Amino acid sequence: MLLFAGILDCNFVRFCEKGNVSGPDAYVADRMAVEQYFCKFVPADIEAALGRRYIIGSEIATGGQGAVFRATRTSQPDGTAANDGVALKLSFDRRRNIRVQPEITAMENFSHPNLARMIEHGYCDVAGRHTRYVAWEFIEGQTLSVLLKNGPLLESEVLAIGRDVSSAIAEIWSRRIVHGDIKPSNIMVGSADSAVLIDLGAAKYLDQVNIVTLKPLDRRDRRRSGPIGTVGYFSPEQIRGTKALSCASDVFSLGVVMLQCLLGQHPTNYDQAALLDGIRASGGRLAANVGLLCALDMMLSPLPTFRPNPAELSNRFRSLRQTIQAEFAKGARAPQTAQD
């Protein structure tokens, strides 16, 4: 299954289904209203707007504010030849453009194997519509949320996800950026169990003087209350509204995700209140590697200062995975989930 990194978010919606409205007249009226609201992008118009530098392929997603296409970039803006497989996001809604900016700001000049690479961004006129476009590296694989539909993952798979995502957290934190929304749908899993962290739309940047939220929404679009992110994955300090977040907040959220991978279901059934005092992975629920469970216990501490450094976590998970794989190779242990 082909998916992409850092592009499709929950605000992209599909046409309404007939079962969601009452009566045929309501359905027809609703469908007409939706079709008028949706403004389709035509591949030929996109190619023309971008100076024939892109070959537009299949449409990945569409919604009220824009669309995402699989595409090939054949040349850079300066005319230099290129051959980049991309997920091309086009957005014509002004408020959506404002929402896209935080991720662009956060991801400019990043180059890391576990972070989606932004290839190009800018503005163009598509069939007379002023349009924001962002080209992201196209990643083949599946989101972790899709994989979890099949149940718990193998310990070695969970360790690989922890290794790669904690490495990505360490990288963005080196620039004092907190992701703020680590969850299964924001983790792409590719070949050889490699994982890529996507979507920094909820990111926060901490400089030496100020704490700036990279989410400059206008008043009409601002949420009334609560942090930006996803219920069930907030760290305790995040849900309490702490402004000076650190990478420890992302480490907590990753701990929730990894425990979900081992269990095959969310550890608190998305009850955020149950996470306020932290939770434990050890204690008899899981027959998993002791080193993995101890690491998760520290990651899920209610106190940020007790949580491990993400770079150290990445090395620990790498070492644990190598140990388990060596046991597999010797036949001393068979691949298993924590539920076996």
SS3 158: helix
Last residue of a domain, one of 137, 167, 187: 137
Last residue of a domain, one of 77, 112, 137: 137
| Residue 308 belongs to domain with CATH number | 1.10.510.10
The answer to the question of residue 15 being in a domain is no
Query: 180 and 81 in one domain?
Result: no
Query: 73 and 157 in one domain?
Result: no
Residue-level pLDDT at 169: 97
**pLDDT tens digits, residue range 105-162?**
777 778 899 998 899 999 999 988 889 999 989 988 899 999 999 999 999 999 999 9
Is 190 in contact with 157 (CB distance < 8 Å)? no
Query: 154 and 132 in one domain?
Result: no
- What is the full DSSP assignment across 273-328? GGGTT---S-SSS----HHHHHHHHHHT-SSGGGSPPHHHHHHHHHHHHHHHHHHH
Residue-level pLDDT at 200: 77
Query: 278 and 216 in one domain?
Result: yes
Q: Which residues of the chain have pLDDT under 70?
A: 1-39, 64-65, 93-100, 102, 201, 205-227, 331-340
Query: 278 and 146 in one domain?
Result: yes
| Residue 43 belongs to domain with CATH number | 3.30.200.20
Query: 193 and 119 in one domain?
Result: no
**pLDDT tens digits, residue range 256-275?**
999 999 999 999 999 999 99
The answer to the question of residue 339 being in a domain is no
The answer to the question of residue 336 being in a domain is no
Query: Residue 238 is part of which domain span?
Result: 142-330
Residue-level pLDDT at 4: 47
pTM of the model: 0.78
Residue-level pLDDT at 2: 46
Last residue of a domain, one of 119, 137, 155: 137
Q: Which two tokens stand for residue 138?
A: 């196209």
Query: 290 and 320 in one domain?
Result: yes
For 94, residues 6+ apart whose C-beta sits below 8 A from its C-beta are: none
Residue-level pLDDT at 62: 79
Q: Which residues pair with 62 in a beta bridge?
A: 67
Residue-level pLDDT at 24: 44
Give the torsion through C-alpha atoms of 298, 302, 304, 309, to 10 deg.
Answer: 20
